[in-house]
């Protein structure tokens, strides 16, 4: 194997192979001969779905794979600035990867230590790798916080991670990563959990820092829209292998691999709304072109639509403790009014803290409303006594954002689906309920064997299907979808969106679809309600709102949508 390094290349990965021990006898191959190069001062994007091997590849470069379970093939090669990293002593590797190679991790709250201030954590990097005194490290930390756009750095330097927003936490992680002025920055899904506007700010920040510090960036993501904004070259991975690589214009303009074409087409577009979104399987296996004839779906409210839910002047406030003895009132939702038509979808969009999730939880009486009314078929849900409201509980259900946290890990799928049916006495006996559960599993695209398996045995997309099936056991009329596809890969997201649309077409379900992803909302919503700081700033049929947004905040949200080129 030739491991000589071209002088223009900062990082050269050759035939990287990584396996993980499953038990004492068995291993599973995670990386299967991956090779790629990263030039000096360039940005290369590593793209793929969950399980494609992109994060494992980056951890292999950093030397962060768990030694007790990970097996790196000794014939593999990872060369950085001419030095072979895989055979370096641990101390040298750690020193190099802390200073010359830095990494931004996906989830800042699990990467930052909650018991130390952000200033201490950034300063620790400077003291350890740069030999700075405490005074020098604090001064440099203040400059770094200012450089990454943290407001009021003199105050924030002594704040704890929990006292900062998600976007600010990610900026702290970036400040920590660039503290020692590395020549290679690895960014592993740095914007996945962030709102579109914050996501755009982080992308622009990384790009500006890359130019200012002349760093090379290895940007890892499953979102091809982001890649179109930041990358010079693109590497597409699937099942531990590189499927395609080339310049951004080559990969996006004329993709050679069917899998790349599938990824590009799975994500909802702003310029079309097909009856069904294409999925990965549509492009693989030599099938006919799924894009040859694409019937479009029309959206919008009609004058004769039946309004199943009418919300007037909804308000929700929380009392928060401010110091030891003082309390203050936080107005999360202020005077929100809307209607939901039967068989239609109301999209609710806005950044974190806009109040959109609070609206959904209050409608289900998981929060107690502090004002307003919600008329369901003429009856006010908020004014009903608990005993009377019990009959309405099953008619309004919610799909939560995180499919990993919303299912009881100790229950089998069968138990998860049977439990609400027993509580609400749906079905005459368990035999009839079991038949209904098997029919529901088939309806949401899960095998009959899923009945006896546990949630941890399923992927994220499959778990979200289980959560949808659980809602359907109640035969609801309204589903509140709270960021229900935001944690999914684009291909799995397309499958779940297709399922939700099929269910709506078949059962005339009404959806309140809460999301910060405006591309997804444009695809599935008939009407869109834009929220900002607890208030509704704009509401219109989706085509009207996307074509001619009236409010500056709506225009800012639409401008933040990532573009492929």
Q: At what angle do helices 166-178 and 118-130 cross, to 10 degrees?
A: 10
The predicted model gives 257-282 an average pLDDT of: 86
Query: What residue segments make up the domains of the chain, in order of their start?
Result: 1-100+181-256, 111-179, 308-395+478-559, 408-475
According to the model, what pLDDT value does residue 158 have?
Answer: 93
373 confidence band (pLDDT: 50, 70, 90): very high
Residue 100 burial (10 A CB sphere; 0-12, 13-18, 19+): middle
8-22, 193-207, 297-311: segment of lowest average pLDDT: 193-207
Distance CA(347)–CA(516), nearest Å, equals 10
Residue 406 token pair: 């919303």
The predicted model gives 263-290 an average pLDDT of: 79
Does an H or E element contain 382, and which? none
According to the model, what pLDDT value does residue 234 have?
Answer: 95
Residue 194 token pair: 């962030």
Distance CA(242)–CA(53), nearest Å, equals 9
The predicted model gives 466-479 an average pLDDT of: 91
107-116, 304-313, 436-445: segment of lowest average pLDDT: 107-116
Phi, psi angle pair for 562, to nearest 5°: -60, 140
Give the pLDDT confidence of 80-130 residue by residue, as tens digits: 999 999 989 988 888 888 789 999 887 766 788 999 999 999 999 999 888
Residue 202 token pair: 């982080």
Residue 144 burial (10 A CB sphere; 0-12, 13-18, 19+): buried
pLDDT at 335 over 90: yes
Reported pTM: 0.83
- Please answer whether residues 408 and 385 qualify as being in contact, where contact means their C-beta atoms are separated by less than 8 angstroms: no
Give one DSSP letter per residue of 170-223, joined into a string.
Answer: HHHHHHHHHTT--SEEEEESTTTTS-HHHHHHHHHHHHHHHHHHT-EEEEEES-
According to the model, what pLDDT value does residue 7 have?
Answer: 63
pLDDT at 330 over 60: yes
According to the model, what pLDDT value does residue 6 have?
Answer: 63
According to the model, what pLDDT value does residue 564 have?
Answer: 63
According to the model, what pLDDT value does residue 41 have?
Answer: 92
According to the model, what pLDDT value does residue 1 have?
Answer: 46
For residue 368, CA distances in Å to 312, 381, 387, 511 come to: 15, 11, 16, 21
- Which has the higher per-residue pLDDT, 267 or 452? 452
pLDDT at 3 over 60: no
According to the model, what pLDDT value does residue 266 have?
Answer: 84
CATH of 308-395+478-559, one of 3.40.50.12780, 3.30.70.260, 3.30.950.10, 3.40.50.300: 3.40.50.300
The predicted model gives 466-475 an average pLDDT of: 90
pLDDT at 200 over 50: yes
CATH of domain 1-100+181-256: 3.40.50.300
pLDDT at 541 over 80: yes
According to the model, what pLDDT value does residue 15 have?
Answer: 96
Count of C-beta atoms within a 10 Å radius of residue 364: 18
- Please answer whether residues 529 and 346 qualify as being in contact, where contact means their C-beta atoms are separated by less than 8 angstroms: yes
* β-bridge partners, 188: 220
Give the pLDDT confidence of 130-168 residue by residue, as tens digits: 899 999 999 999 999 998 888 889 999 999 988 887 778
Mean pLDDT, all residues of the chain? 89
Q: Compute the C-alpha angle 108/112/114, nearest 5°.
A: 120
pLDDT at 4 over 60: no
17-29: b or e for each residue (b if 16 or more CB lie within 10 Å)?
Answer: bbbbeeeeeeeeb
The predicted model gives 407-425 an average pLDDT of: 92
Same fold, 1-100+181-256 and 308-395+478-559: yes
Task: Look at the alpha carbons of 491, 495, 501, 502 in this order and tell me if their dihedral is positive or negative.
Answer: positive
pLDDT at 332 over 50: yes
Count of C-beta atoms within a 10 Å radius of residue 115: 8
- Please answer whether residues 103 and 94 qualify as being in contact, where contact means their C-beta atoms are separated by less than 8 angstroms: no
Residue 525 token pair: 């919503």
Q: Is 338 helix (H, G, I), strand (E, B) or coil?
A: strand
* β-bridge partners, 347: 513, 528
3-17, 29-43, 357-371: segment of lowest average pLDDT: 3-17
The predicted model gives 492-496 an average pLDDT of: 86
pLDDT at 264 over 90: no
Percent of the chain with pLDDT over 70: 96
Give one DSSP letter per residue of 496-532, joined into a string.
Answer: HHHHHHHHHHHH--EEEEEES-HHHHHHH-SEEEEEE
Distance CA(415)–CA(417), nearest Å, equals 5
């Amino acid at each position: 194997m030739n491991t000589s390094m071209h002088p223009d290349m900062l990082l050269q990965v050759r035939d990287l192979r990584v396996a993980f021990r499953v038990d004492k006898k068995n291993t599973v191959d995670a990386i299967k001969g991956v090779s790629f190069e990263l030039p000096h001062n360039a940005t290369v994007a590593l793209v793929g779905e969950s399980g494609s091997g992109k994060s494992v590849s980056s951890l292999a470069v950093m030397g962060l794979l768990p030694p007790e379970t990970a097996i790196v093939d000794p014939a593999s090669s990872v060369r950085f600035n001419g030095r072979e990293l895989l055979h370096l002593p641990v101390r040298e590797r750690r020193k190099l990867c802390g200073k010359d190679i830095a990494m931004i991790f996906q989830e800042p709250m699990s990467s930052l230590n909650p018991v130390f201030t952000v200033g201490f954590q950034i300063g620790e990097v400077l003291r350890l790798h740069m030999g700075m005194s405490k005074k020098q490290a604090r001064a440099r930390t203040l400059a770094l916080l200012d450089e990454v756009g943290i407001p009021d750095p003199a105050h924030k330097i002594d704040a704890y991670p929990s006292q900062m927003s998600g976007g600010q936490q990610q900026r702290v992680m970036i400040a920590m990563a660039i503290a020692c002025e590395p020549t290679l920055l690895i960014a592993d899904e740095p914007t996945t959990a962030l709102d579109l506007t914050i996501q755009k700010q982080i992308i622009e920040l990384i790009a500006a820092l890359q130019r200012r510090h002349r760093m090379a960036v290895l940007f890892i993501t499953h979102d091809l829209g982001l890649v179109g904004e930041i990358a010079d070259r693109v590497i597409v991975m699937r099942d531990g292998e590189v499927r395609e690589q080339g310049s951004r214009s080559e990969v996006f303009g004329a993709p050679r691999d069917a899998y790349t074409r599938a990824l590009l087409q799975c994500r909802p577009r702003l310029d079309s709304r097909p009856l069904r979104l294409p999925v990965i399987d549509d492009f693989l296996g030599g099938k006919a072109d799924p894009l040859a004839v694409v019937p479009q779906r029309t959206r919008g409210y009609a004058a004769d639509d039946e309004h199943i839910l009418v919300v007037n002047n909804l308000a929700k406030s929380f009392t928060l403790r401010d110091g030891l003895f003082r309390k203050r009132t936080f107005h999360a939702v202020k005077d929100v009014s809307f209607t939901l038509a039967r068989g239609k979808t109301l999209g609710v969009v806005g950044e974190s803290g806009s109040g959109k999730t609070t609206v959904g939880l209050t409608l289900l009486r998981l929060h107690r409303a502090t004002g307003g009314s919600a008329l369901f078929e003429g009856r006010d849900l908020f004014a009903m006594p608990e005993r009377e409201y019990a009959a309405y509980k099953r008619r309004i259900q919610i799909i939560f954002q995180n499919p990993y946290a919303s299912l009881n890990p100790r229950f089998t799928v069968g138990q998860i689906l049977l439990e609400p049916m027993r509580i609400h006495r749906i079905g005459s006996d368990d035999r009839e309920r079991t038949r209904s559960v098997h029919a529901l599993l088939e309806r949401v695209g899960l095998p009959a064997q899923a009945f006896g398996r546990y949630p941890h045995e399923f992927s994220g997309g499959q778990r979200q299907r289980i959560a949808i099936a659980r809602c359907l056991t109640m035969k609801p009329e309204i589903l509140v979808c709270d960021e229900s596809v935001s944690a999914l890969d684009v291909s799995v997201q397309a499958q779940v969106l297709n399922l939700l649309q099929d269910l709506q077409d078949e059962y005339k379900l009404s959806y309140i679809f809460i999301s910060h992803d405006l591309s997804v909302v444009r695809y599935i919503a008939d009407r869109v309600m834009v929220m900002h700081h607890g208030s509704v700033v704009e509401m219109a049929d989706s085509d009207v709102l996307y074509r001619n947004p009236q409010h500056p905040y709506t225009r800012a949200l639409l401008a933040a949508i990532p573009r492929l080129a």
